[in-house]
Amino acid sequence: MIEKEGKEQNSIPTSKVERSTQFVKTGFKIGGNYVKHYSKKLFNPNLTKDELNEDNAADIYESLSKLKGSALKVAQMLSMDKSILPKAYVDKFSLSQYNAPPLSGPLIVQTFHKLYGKTPDQVFDKFDLKSSNAASIGQVHQAELHGKKLAVKIQYPGVGDSISSDLKLVKPFAFRLLGMSEKELNVYMNEVEERLLEETDYELELKRSIEFSKACSVLNNIVFPTYYPELSTKRTITMDWLEGKHLKEYLQTNPSQEERNTIGQALWDFYNFQQHELRAVHADPHPGNFMITPDGKLGVIDFGCIKVLPDEFYYPFFSLSSNGFFESKEKTLQAFRELEMIQPNDTPAQIEFYHEVYCQMITLFAKPYTSNTFDFSENAFFDKLYKFGEMLSKMPEFKQARGVKHFIYVNRTNFGLYNILHELKAIVRTDTYVPQLALQD
């Protein structure tokens, strides 16, 4: 197992007052870090922000880890976008992808009793009070019933009820970290809130987990746990325990190129099958949601975050990645307008500017789709992606919100997929599941 970060928590702040107090304390710590940084800079004008970033990242992560829930989930999301945050934040926030500090055994028993009306050992033959994995929304415990090994995911107390208030509290931190305009940040936060409300609805997750695992069972080299509604509640999900290693552990075993290609192909097919066949996609592609089983298959263990792709977004968005689409400037501009990448009040000069930049960006991002196979170990490809993203983040033309809200999770999903495939250094066939653009009226 991956080494856990921090000690077990014996309590978790659940009221708005308790949670806001935690944010205020963190704000004071960050203020102190800035005072310390600028005091040192008086004596050393060449001092970089590296130490400041490390101190702030540690203080923010410590605070969010105690709060759990939507605030920690935002940190997890940001850690996946390596082009937005300084490395210190990425490194610290990425801990929430695998193991945040877990809740203590007594607190789990208390939470369990509220949900089931029974203690864990009255429901299961065996129940390990020490969590196997703890993340942003809940933590997982190993259990056993009738000789079958099970995983029980338990949602942290108060998480579902504190989403809106937490996001309002985390907004000032996000504003400073992301450098977005207030309008853009509002679009981002509203879409995040919508998905998080779904993600904390474990009854919805259980339903989707069963539906999606059944639909995706046609794919090669992917396994899913069986889910048990009769052993689940509004705040818990019980499923089969899948044996395996997370990506980080798996890569430490030095798998062969063939083995890495197999897992990479399974990931590629999993995501593109959903996007193009189901028109809804598992939109939480961080490595903690996957296991590599002992027989070399991809195990999918979490369907909490699902993004539905409506037709009015699907067709123009995926048209942009089809070969030869940019040859028609008229069609290209029409797609940009439908996606609100170009807006009604843009001047002719702005339209030309955005048309050129967007075409460059999409041509770069869609490179894996332009041939039958793609080698995701290509450092040059990812260097270009990150540099292009960094360049856009510094351009005043992109300080205001552009694009429909669906971009937030769809881009996050596809960038996340690319990053995992890059870590795997996998070579995959990219022509297995392709956009169904022929269905467009």
Domains in the chain: boundaries: 16-102+160-197, 244-441
CB 274 within 8 A of CB 186: no
Beta bridge partners of 227: 239
Which pLDDT score, from 0 to 100, does residue 41 have? 57
Which pLDDT score, from 0 to 100, does residue 432 have? 93
Distance CA 183, CA 423 (A): 34
> Which residue's structure tokens are 């033309």?
397
Q: What is the pLDDT along the chain (441 residues), one digit of tens a residue?
A: 333 444 665 555 555 556 666 555 655 455 565 555 556 555 666 666 666 667 666 666 666 666 555 566 665 555 445 444 555 555 655 554 445 567 778 888 988 899 999 999 999 999 999 988 777 778 899 999 999 999 999 988 777 777 777 777 666 666 565 555 666 667 767 777 777 788 888 999 999 999 999 999 999 999 999 999 999 999 999 999 999 999 989 999 999 999 999 999 999 999 999 999 999 999 888 788 899 999 999 999 888 788 999 999 999 999 888 877 888 999 999 999 999 999 999 999 999 999 999 999 999 999 998 889 999 999 999 999 888 887 887 788 876 667 888 888 888 889 889 999 999 999 999 999 988 875 454
> How far is the CA of 88 from the CAs of 24, 55, 91, 177, in angstroms?
22, 9, 5, 12
Distance CA 201, CA 304 (A): 8
Residue 267 three-state SS: helix
CB 235 within 8 A of CB 156: no
Which pLDDT score, from 0 to 100, does residue 439 have? 46
Distance CA 12, CA 157 (A): 7
One-letter amino acid of 120? P
Distance CA 176, CA 293 (A): 41
The kind and range of the H/E element at 143 are: strand 138-145
CB 158 within 8 A of CB 138: no
CB 375 within 8 A of CB 382: no
Distance CA 52, CA 355 (A): 38
